[in-house]
Amino acid sequence: MYFWICHIRSGKTFGKVKLFYQRFEFIIKNASKLIIRSEIMEVSNQKRSKRIKRSFNIMGVVIVIVGLILLWLKKDTAVLITAGVFILYVGMAQFADLCFINYNTDNGRIRIKYFPVISIMKKEYDSIEFTHEALYHFNIENSMGFSDLSIAIKTKRGVAEYPSISLAAMNKSEIEQIRSSLSEILQKNRTEG
């Protein structure tokens, strides 16, 4: 009640009413039951991605400086070993496929934006977007200490599967939030459909 009184006095009722309806989606099922869907969630690993990128860059600079010092001291074998360590370090970072991920379930849509945190070439920004009702199946697979998210959706032509998304840069609680959100949406789809 207080929400409406404040905004009616300020003369901004239309914008707030529109925002209210964007946040809560009303669905009438069998013309007798009113269901309010408000599964709005946003999960992002932005802070952790920044720390990973910063750590990677600092370690890379340290390895290069050590290599330059060894080169200046004319320790050829040590320089070759340092170069090998640097190549191995960069290769492992590329293999891990650490991604920045922004997961959002707003306005009845699921949006997942992601791109690699560590990239030698240019960054490829990717995103997935579909309605809650289109979610058909998802799987979070753990292998070798890394997690991958696979999503399948219903389309007019059948079931389509998106390429898997690496969740390796996310912590366990963020992965669990995504799992519970997608499970809840999938459960609602099965009970409504």
What's the pLDDT score for residue 112?
A: 94
Q: Are residues 97 and 26 in the same domain?
A: no
Q: What does the longest C-alpha to C-alpha distance in the chain come to?
A: 84
58 shares a domain with 12: no
The whole domain housing 167 covers: 41-193
Quote the CA–CA distance of 167 and 56 in Å, as a whole number.
Answer: 18
Tell me the three state secondary structure of residue 147.
strand
Supply φ then ψ for residue 78, to 5 degrees: -65, -35
The total number of structural domains that make up the chain = 2
Shared domain for 77 and 110, answered yes or no, is yes
Statement to judge: residues 68 and 114 lie in one domain = yes
pLDDT per residue as tens digits for the range 10-44:
444 444 444 344 333 333 333 223 333 445 778 88
14 with 87, same domain? Answer: no
CB 52 within 8 A of CB 98: yes
Q: Which of 166, 161, 169 minimizes the C-alpha distance to 149?
A: 166
Do 62 and 23 belong to one domain?
A: no
Q: What is the pTM of this model?
A: 0.70
pLDDT at 80: 93
**Phi, psi for 142 (deg, rounded to 5):** -105, 125
Do 75 and 167 share a domain, yes or no? yes
Confidence (pLDDT) at 6: 34
